[in-house]
Amino acid sequence: MQLAHGQPMVFGRMGNLTSITVAFIVAQILKACIDYNPKEGLKFTVSADKGVDWERAFRSGGMPSSHSALASSLTTSIGRQSGVTSEAFAIALVFTLIVLYDACHVRWEAGLHAQRINRIISTTKGTGSDVELGLNLTEEPLKEVIGHTPTEVAGGTALGIICGLLFT
């Protein structure tokens, strides 16, 4: 089997799909093992008595950003295979920059909005204001962690670049 640019497929040159798959899976596993707090820094959450909290791997947010890892791995793979002056690399780079911006800014801000809305709901619930405004405050709280800090995005980006270099 050969890659699109004519090189034979050998271990270490398995293509974009392997690179992005490995980056995404490793990021999800690391999320289950690492907790990042801007004030406290990184800490490992695996313990002998509790083990690994695998639910963390399937939640939004967390360190590292799996979306950033996936997108930067794809861009790195395309850059290695097609060259950094190719149209495919330019498209992948723009896609990655949008993903990084979205993870760090748009989704982070949406999480801050959810925190504030949840706080408003918890203080208004049962005061009569909710009835006056026609609000249904019996619903579950909004999910507050849906974006990433810049450090989490940088961690995912670094992981993606490493995977792109190793598996392409």
pLDDT in tens, 13-37: 457 788 989 999 999 988 887 776 6
| 108-161 tens-digit pLDDT | 777 777 788 778 777 766 665 565 666 666 667 777 666 778 888 999 999 999
Q: What is the mean pLDDT of residues 75-79?
A: 95
What are the residue ranges of helices labelled H in 14-106? 16-33, 66-82, 87-101
The residue extents of the domains of the chain are 16-101+151-166
Task: Kindly compute the dihedral angle of the four CA atoms of residues 87, 92, 93, 98, in this order, to the nearest 10 degrees.
Answer: 130
More confident call, 39 vs 1? 39
The tokens of 128 are what?
């009569």
